[in-house]
Amino acid sequence: MNTKKILILALLIVSNYSFSQGFALEIAYKNVGGNHLEIGTTYRLSENKNEDRNPLNINAAIITNFKNEFVPKIGIHKRIYKFFEAGFNGSSKYAEQTLGINFMNALKLNLGYTIPYKANYFKGLTLGLSISFSKSNGYYDHLKIGF
């Protein structure tokens, strides 16, 4: 199965579950020793999605470097101080800690450090930008303007 077919299949599987309550489709660019595309789904864990200002998100994704290589990953991210986020991602090939800025749970910019399990694989500083798409109003934060 070639790279494009695997990527399209992964997108279809992820998008099928992405638009139910609390789920979102997440597409990200990641730079860690090269350009990488990350596609996955994320779920907002929160008892009251409309009032929780520091939610906990869990996610699962597939990362590709556009050279017939796909790495599945899982992660957990906790919002701190409304806009800042700390997280941990892991796969069978690396572990990554991240710190970043989260705007309304829709746009995320993060910086992290990756520790590989295998020599020279995803090693060093990472920079990532991700966008989340959801039909559920409970997934996004509400922008409060005024008093």
CATH number of the structural domain spanning residue 42? 2.40.128.120
Q: Say what the pLDDT of residue 18 is.
A: 46
Residue type (1 letter), 95: A
Residue 144 within a domain:
no
Domain count, the chain: 1
pLDDT of residue 100: 95
Q: Tens digit of pLDDT for each residue in 92-134?
A: 888 999 999 988 888 999 999 998 887 666 788 999 999 988 8
Tell me, yes or no, whether 8 lies in a domain.
Answer: yes
Alpha carbon separation from 44 to 48, 76, 82, 110 (Å, rounded): 10, 10, 15, 18
In a domain, 147, yes or no: no
pLDDT at 131: 93
Task: Look at residue 10 and tell me if it is in a domain.
Answer: yes
Structural domain containing residue 14: 3-133
Q: What is the pTM of this model?
A: 0.75
Q: How far apart are the first and last CA of the chain?
A: 56
Q: Given this model, what pLDDT does residue 81 score?
A: 79
* Cα within 13 Å of Cα(49), Cβ side: 14
In a domain, 142, yes or no: no
The percentage of the chain sitting over the pLDDT mark of 90, rounded to a whole number, equals: 28
Q: 39 pairs with which residues across the strands? A: 27, 62
pLDDT tens per residue across span 81-97: 778 999 999 988 889 99
- Position 54 in a domain: yes
Residue with tokens 């990532």: 128
Using only the alpha carbons of the chain, give its radius of gyration: 15
Lowest-confidence region among 18-27, 29-38, 89-98: 18-27
Determine the pLDDT at residue 123.
80
Q: Kindly state whether residue 14 falls inside one of the protein's structural domains.
A: yes
Question: Is residue 110 domain-resident?
Answer: yes
- Convert the pLDDT of each residue in 42-80 to its tens digit: 888 765 455 556 778 889 998 888 877 888 899 999 888
